[in-house]
Amino acid sequence: MNTLEKINIIPQDEPSAMVPVTPMDMLNRAVSSGASLDMVEKLMTLQERWDASQARKQFDAAVSAAKAEIPPITRNATGHNAKKYADFAAIAKVVDPIIGQHGLSYRFRTTQTDKISVTCILSHKAGHSEETTLCGPADATGNKNAIQAIGSTLTYLQRYSLVQMLGLAAAADDDGKSAADAGAITPEQATEIATKCKAVADGFDESFCNYFGIETIADLPAKEYQRALVAIGKKTGAAK
């Protein structure tokens, strides 16, 4: 009789339906059957490998499900050469609630030598995690002091390492407007325009609405936002 039969790992008189036997089942049977320490250690190693495999599968499934729900992220900030990009706050606002629902979280590890390195670590509640590392020199552009230069690079590397880890996309045609040009402006933009209209003259908001063919400022199409700001700016200059 071999060792597996001795510890009843091969069940006798079982129904025809096959029931998967996990390493933990085997380990429990081995311990209860008085298996050798060597056998127990081998089964414990097998259980650890099985747990890691299951955790990795759950991680992959969670990342896939989360990515399917994460929309393109609005490019809300302007960088060098007037190029639009999504800053870290905009990314986190969209990403954090979604990945949290799938048991995922992220953190950063940083080191500094001649360059600054940032590692984004994406973890799942089942225990599996993966990471990616980016590095770069301190950003001394724009007359930054030493601390500001380091902070700028850290923020940049955090943003891009998270983007790389999750495979995120940013809305390419958004210029500070709402995500869909077919919709109306945001409440914040409506408040901004209302304030600017009041600065031109009392009652100018009515003329503004008539000009754009809308009932209220909040109804202004998002695609008209920039044109509206330009139009108000001209009126403001004329009123001075």
Q: Which pair of tokens denotes residue 101?
A: 């629902």
Report residue 100 CA to chain centroid gap: 10
Residues 6+ apart with CB under 8 A from 30: 7, 9, 39, 40, 43
SS3 content of the chain, % helix, strand, coil (to 5): 55, 15, 30
Q: Does residue 107 surpass a pLDDT of 90?
A: yes
Answer yes or no: is 175 within a domain. Answer: no
Q: Which H helix or E strand runs over 197?
A: helix 187-200
Answer yes or no: is 89 within a domain. Answer: yes
Site of tokens 């040009």: 181
Q: Which pair of tokens denotes residue 170?
A: 């940013």
Q: How confident is the model at residue 168 (pLDDT cuts 50, 70, 90)?
A: confident
The mean pLDDT of 139-153, rounded to a whole number, is: 84
Q: 67 near 166, Cβ under 8 Å? A: yes
The mean pLDDT of 40-46, rounded to a whole number, is: 72
Q: 155 near 89, Cβ under 8 Å? A: no
Task: Report the C-alpha gap between 184 and 224 in whole angstroms.
Answer: 9
Q: In this structure, are 156 and 193 located in the same domain?
A: no
Answer yes or no: is 96 within a domain. Answer: yes
**What pLDDT does residue 20 have?**
63
Residues 6+ apart with CB under 8 A from 62: 99, 102, 103, 104, 124
Answer yes or no: is 71 within a domain. Answer: no
Share of the chain above pLDDT 70, in %: 74
- Computed on alpha carbons and rounded to an integer, the radius of gyration of the chain in Å comes to 29
Closest CA to 134 of 161, 162, 165: 161
Task: Report the C-alpha gap between 66 and 193 in whole angstroms.
Answer: 36
Strand partners, 120: 108, 132
Q: How confident is the model at residue 34 (pLDDT cuts 50, 70, 90)?
A: low
3-state secondary structure of 184: strand
User: Which runs of E-coded beta strand occur in the chain?
Assistant: 77-78, 84-85, 104-112, 116-124, 129-136
Q: Does residue 66 surpass a pLDDT of 90?
A: yes
> Picking from 1-15, 98-112, 158-172, which range would have the lowest pLDDT averaged per residue?
1-15
Q: In this structure, are 124 and 90 located in the same domain?
A: yes
**What pLDDT does residue 178 have?**
33
Q: In this structure, are 61 and 81 located in the same domain?
A: no
Q: How confident is the model at residue 158 (pLDDT cuts 50, 70, 90)?
A: very high
Q: In this structure, are 89 and 150 located in the same domain?
A: yes
Answer yes or no: is 7 within a domain. Answer: yes
Please state the domain count of the chain.
3
More confident residue, 121 or 31: 121
**What pLDDT does residue 43 have?**
66
Average pLDDT, the chain: 79
Q: In this structure, are 84 and 62 located in the same domain?
A: no
> Which domain does 207 fall in, by range?
187-239
**What pLDDT does residue 182 have?**
43
